Amino acid sequence: MDVMLSICEDKDIPGHFDADIIIKATCMSMLLASVDTTIVTLTWTLSLLLNNYQSLKKAQDELDTHVGKNRWVQESDIKNLVYLQAIVNESMRLYPPTPSLLPHESIEDCVVSGYDIPKGTRLFVSMWKFHHDPNIWPNPHEFKPERFLTTHKDVNVRGNHFELIPFGTGRRMCPGTSLALQVVYYVLAVLLQRFDIKRPSDEPIDMSESFGLTNLKASPLEVHLTPRLNSNLYE
């Protein structure tokens, strides 16, 4: 905010918008592109784990093995938590933060797979379709993090594989990919290490989606948290 104010303040900005509007619009873009999508990803990931307690236990067992129960997990531990990373990959495959990529526009006439694409054509890519293609993902609607440790262990979310593009790909992919993954991995690791997480009832979590710019969960996620480590660590 300080940088934006120092750049825009007392400056003659061409166009129809003043400095305040530009700053507010920039802040809104940052919130939608980072904070909201991070919250969405963590919400879906926790929802999937609460409907698959066996995967939740595997992630906590991994934390106990590589971090232990006598200290808090650190960011430097994340590289060893391969199953936790697989959980996040599978969550973003099933429920990408946004249902489609940002629109792209061709800058010149071109031919793609035999189709003539004129200059100025706007393209909307459904990443959900890619992520649920049964020709690529066996049992595509099933939550199975293990696939990223076996059959799809070389597939990642960094735009290198078109079958999994929650952050987009190419020159226009999300510039905050590394930061987003760092935050999601770490926050999830902290939650799973510090707390036993349960559903409020025996009923499975409702996984209905709502319509919007981001892939929001239709109903709020409610959980029961209880400390799972020695009480002295929470002091």
Compute the 3-state secondary structure of the chain and give helix, strand, coil in percent, each to the nearest 5: 45, 10, 45
- Residue positions forming the annotated binding site for heme: 174
- H or E element that contains 25: helix 19-30
Please name which of 133, 135, 207, 187 lies closest in space to residue 165, comparing C-alpha atoms.
133
For helices 53-66 and 82-94, give the axis angle rounded to 10 degrees: 150
CA distance 37 to 216: 9
Residue 164 near residue 56, CB atoms below 8 Å: no
Residue 104: φ, ψ to 5°? -115, 155
Residue 105 near residue 123, CB atoms below 8 Å: yes
Residue 127 near residue 151, CB atoms below 8 Å: no
Number of CB atoms found within 10 A of residue 89's CB: 21
Number of CB atoms found within 10 A of residue 56's CB: 19
- Residue positions forming the annotated binding site: 174
CA distance 61 to 58: 5
